[in-house]
A and B are shown apart, each in its own frame.
Chain A
Amino acid sequence: MLNNLMITITLLSVSSLVQAKVDILACEPEWASLAREIGGDKVEAYAATTAFQDPHHIQARPSLLAKARKADLLICSGAELEAGWLPILLKKSGNGAIRPGKPGHLMAADYVRLLEVLGRVTRSMGDVHASGNPHLHLDPGNILKVASVLNKRLQSIDKVNSDYYQKRFSSFSQKWKKAIKRWEKRSASLRGMLVVVHHRSWIYLESWLGLKEIAALEPKPGLPPTSTHLVKVLKQVQSTPAKAIIHSPYQQQKSAKWLSGKSGIPVVKLPFTVGGTPQAKDLFSLFDDTINRLLAINR
């Protein structure tokens, strides 16, 4: 009887040790995916948003508060992308581990070189971010920089498994560097390709692949396309024909389709993040699929 009890207690404590995974709340799917790459089965990563949601417009809903309450680590793009909802989660969750300045608070934007740093913004400029364009994950070099910071953070939060994280990071880093070479080789023909975008959320991809953005469907970032602005863009593409009109899964396609119908330029949905297309299952396939889709129309 006593033996049985001892065995039960031992099993319970072992199982609770086994279950003590690092709880990670990722603001966007790409960071949840990265957390799984580095953290493996020692972490439990949850993405607060999906590829079909505009990360600017998220509700600080009860389920997210519950996740923030329990999180050991918060990983987000930063640069004010989540300014509409993340501050509420940080304030209301009563969780000290994910406060700014703590190892459990990781904002990717703090560790990469941001593009379009404006310094000073006014409302007339639209939904822009003073500290820079926050859609930084579509440059694979940035992913690697954030992976390296994430590796260190995981090691400091979960010291027992330091070696595990280090090994996984080293192997990810090698694989990722090889993949970057492969992507750059495959996408060489995309250099100089002219594109029209819906929202200015592609500048890191453009600067990496050498795409040239000639117009955006939104008259100002975050403001929905207007007919006068679309007519202007139509005139622009009639004189400088673009190869594609690019949009992400969370953006409405009406304006892109209208422009496509008038100009004959194909609309291309890119996954934007993990889960955005059936093919983009993780970070590797996200870039594979993005390049495949661009190559398919750039023949």
Chain B
Amino acid sequence: MSFHGKLAFVSILPAAISVSQLHAEPQASIVVDGIISSYSQDPEEYRLPGFQLGGEAGLHDEGWSFGHNEFAVSGEIGGILEGQFTGVMHQHEGEQEFELEELWLQTLGLGQGVTLKAGRFFSDIGYLNNTHPHAWDFVDAPLIYRGILGNQYKDNGLQGSWIAPTETYLRLGTEAFTGSEFPFDYDGGGIGSWSLFADIGGDFDVSHSWQLGISHLWGESNDRFGGHGHDHGESHEVEDAYGEEHLPAFTGDSSIAAVDFVYKWAPDGNYKERFFKLQMEYMYRREDGRIDLFHDGAFEESSPYEGRQQGGYIQGNYRFLPHWQGSLRYDLLTSSNRAVNAEILEEAGLESDYDPWRIGGAIAWVPNEYTTLRFQYNHDRSQPRTDHQFFVQFIYSFGAHGAHQF
């Protein structure tokens, strides 16, 4: 690590720190993420038919906006625990919002391949879920993450994982969360959602590596609204055919199954100049319960509901010159939601008569580990009318530079 962002209280540590104790000192980093967005359709009208938008899901504000600006501090405690704090500032509908994104402790070298984690953290389901947005290859999340997880699922909870003592990489893990974050809304106390995940991976040879993951996430909701957090006033309202605004809320059980695959290639395994990455994920969600509709804050009507939503994306990423990277991505979603009162689906924006899709390309200039300038175009068919979306994104990180995670 060439560039430490040291905090003032580092000076109380003993002067002679061994070179090998690289990360014994707390490190701070700031990620600045600026985005310019342009849409041919009105971004306020953005919907994903058949899916409820929540969490961070939605489009970046038109024009200049802040993306995902992070302030993070991480460090080791007594060489046996690692802690991380991440605060985020981002912009949503013109408002700057601050959020505690991560605050967790994790064991280091517990032995036998076991690691325990507690606090607020991103779930390890899927491939992209635990990756910070500034490390993505596109400005925006895959549609399936937007449609099912509110971009990314993070919550307060516990995680246990184990790596098997085998030649082929095998990691098994489980998580228990409060279930208070989108896509759940559990208020019964205790455990509201939990997960199981498994990753296997290895090398085909010195130039080719791969990883396959399967995961499952369960949770309960009691009046899950879309939109940001729990502030119903800010939730995404859905306009029906008569221009009436409705707020749908889901109550019931959710079950999400996910498969992800990543393959990487670099000539002789040397990632400095050129590499290729193929990444694909698929998710299926089943929900059983009921949908309540609210109008002007008042309960309107209710119907038993069965949600069946699925989709995925495939993307390729090619670093063709040491500082230039091209990416292509294709997204496809489909749903077959059912309700006893079929009209309620339409009023809730959960009707299944259209399959959203999107194709996008990005080119990024990465002059060094801490700077990215990205240009992206999406041919977005989230809704029947094509939205031509253009983005320019600039990311700069101060302090500790990110490690080369697979």
Query: Does B46 lie at the interface of the complex (its beta carbon under 8 Å from any beta carbon of A)?
Result: no
A134→B381 CA distance, assembly (Å): 51
A58→B206 CA distance, assembly (Å): 12
Of B108, B113, B203, B368, which is within 8 A of A61 by CB? B203
A105→B273 CA distance, assembly (Å): 30
Number of A-B contacts (CB under 8 A): 164
A40→B322 CA distance, assembly (Å): 40
Residue contact A57 to B163, C-beta cutoff 8 Å: no
Query: Does B169 lie at the interface of the complex (its beta carbon under 8 Å from any beta carbon of A)?
Result: yes
Q: Chain A residues near B406 (CB, 8 Å)?
A: 59-62
Closest to A250 in B: B270
A59-97 interface with B by 8 A CB criterion: 59-63, 65-66, 69-70, 78-80, 83-88, 90-97
Query: Does A123 lie at the interface of the complex (its beta carbon under 8 Å from any beta carbon of B)?
Result: yes
Query: Does A116 lie at the interface of the complex (its beta carbon under 8 Å from any beta carbon of B)?
Result: no
Residue contact B166 to A58, C-beta cutoff 8 Å: no
Q: Which residues of B contact A (CB under 8 A)?
A: 1-3, 18-24, 79, 82, 106-115, 161-171, 199-203, 206, 209-211, 264, 268-273, 322-323, 368-370, 401, 403-406
The interface bits of chain A over 25-60 (1 if a CB of B lies within 8 angstroms of the residue's CB, else 0) are 000000000000000000000000110111011111
Query: Does A264 lie at the interface of the complex (its beta carbon under 8 Å from any beta carbon of B)?
Result: no
Q: Which residues of A contact B (CB under 8 A)?
A: 49-50, 52-54, 56-63, 65-66, 69-70, 78-80, 83-88, 90-102, 105, 107, 109-110, 121-123, 127-131, 223-224, 250, 252
Q: Chain A residues near B21 (CB, 8 Å)?
A: 100-101
Q: Chain B residues near A102 (CB, 8 Å)?
A: 109
Of B22, B202, B323, which is within 8 A of A83 by CB? B22
The 7 A-B pairs with the shortest beta carbon distances in the complex, nearest first, are A62-B201, A62-B169, A96-B109, A107-B20, A52-B268, A83-B1, A66-B169
Of B19, B200, B273, which is within 8 A of A78 by CB? B19
A133→B404 CA distance, assembly (Å): 21
Residue contact A57 to B20, C-beta cutoff 8 Å: no
**19 CB-based A-B contacts, threshold 8 Å:** A50-B269, A52-B269, A52-B270, A53-B269, A53-B270, A61-B406, A62-B203, A63-B201, A63-B209, A80-B19, A80-B22, A90-B108, A91-B106, A94-B114, A97-B109, A100-B24, A100-B79, A110-B19, A122-B3
